[in-house]
Amino acid sequence: MHCLIIGAAGMLGDGLAKRLIREGKVGTRKIAKLSLFDIIEPKKLEGGDVEIATGATDIADPAAAVALIEARPDVIFHLAAIVSGEAERDFDKGYSINLDGTRYLFEAVRAAHEKDGYFPRIVFTSSLAVFGSPLPEVISDDFIITPRSSYGTQKAIGELLLADYSRKGFFDGIGIRLPTICIRPGKPNAAASGFFSSILREPLAGQAAVLPVDTSVRHWFASPRAAIGFMVHAAMVDTSLIGERRNMTMPGVSATVSDEIEALRKIAGDEAVALINHQPDPAIEAIISTWPQAFDAKRALDLGFEADSSFEAIIEAYLEDYAPKIGG
């Protein structure tokens, strides 16, 4: 089979590619080719028995999607997006990439389907930002999407398009709403949620970190390892069990910032916690205040999606996968 990852230069895209190469299959189907594309060309990876193709493309260009599916990949992982903070600051860029790019991809697949019966599985990564206040403490699978940010609105529209194009039989789509990914390796990004990672990642490396919100803030989390697992599982889950409700929230860990800090204390000690500096940021607080805190992700759990067991497990997964030695 042939798998295509759009957004493969990002942290999750790179991790997904490495896992697919390592396992060499999706479910019982062997991967023969893996195509990796992003706005910048993804780094070269050793493929073993898997043929690897890489390239740079701009999904905001309608012609890009047509070229991406020319080889008719069996599974398309659509991860490409600009993050929440940047989408809020740059309205035009957010809609160009997060919405128009998604529509161009879906339209290209529809045209190919009508031409020669092409019918791929599309895994679309959505976000908890599709939900907006007022919110219950725990959000059920039946709760309506009411985004209160440009990013959330763009993702919500993408979810609706995915469901409709799947309903019409143009492709077999599944949308997975990822929890906030923590701990993200590398440098901070422009996401409003970036501090959730930085208050752990930097202290684990012996560096100071800024906390822009109150420690009582509660949120829904998953490790990069778990998120990549969600994507792989979404590529092989039986969508006949999903029906026309093609989008679902992934399971995760509900934790407060205080819970994060206490998990850090257990693993790295008081010295690491002392490196966190509380500097309130009203702009970030305003965005975070509209986000959900916890979910009852029964649909996803019943379909076999697996979450991290605790926040300590999230930190331990980070240390194992990205930072084998604290401070090293």
Contact assessment for residue 69 and residue 35, using Cβ atoms and an 8 Å cutoff: no
Query: 283: which 2 tokens?
Result: 């702009």
Report the distance separating Cα 163 and Cα 172, nearest Å: 9
Contact assessment for residue 38 and residue 13, using Cβ atoms and an 8 Å cutoff: yes
Q: Is 322 a catalytic residue?
A: no
Alpha-carbon distances, residue 149 vs 111, 135, 179 (angstroms): 31, 15, 16
Report the distance separating Cα 200 and Cα 34, nearest Å: 33
Of the candidates 95, 104, 118, 151, the residue annotated as catalytic is 151
Contact assessment for residue 36 and residue 42, using Cβ atoms and an 8 Å cutoff: yes
The shares of helix, strand and coil residues in the chain, as percent rounded to the nearest 5, are 40, 20, 40
Long-range own/partner contacts, residues 298-302 (CB < 8 A, 24 or more apart): 298/140, 298/141, 299/141, 299/242, 299/245, 299/248, 299/249, 300/176, 300/230, 300/248, 300/249, 300/250, 300/251, 301/251
β-bridge mates for residue 35, sequence order:
4, 53
The torsion angle over the Cα atoms of residues 100, 104, 105 and 111, rounded to 10 degrees, is 160
The catalytic site residues sit at: 151
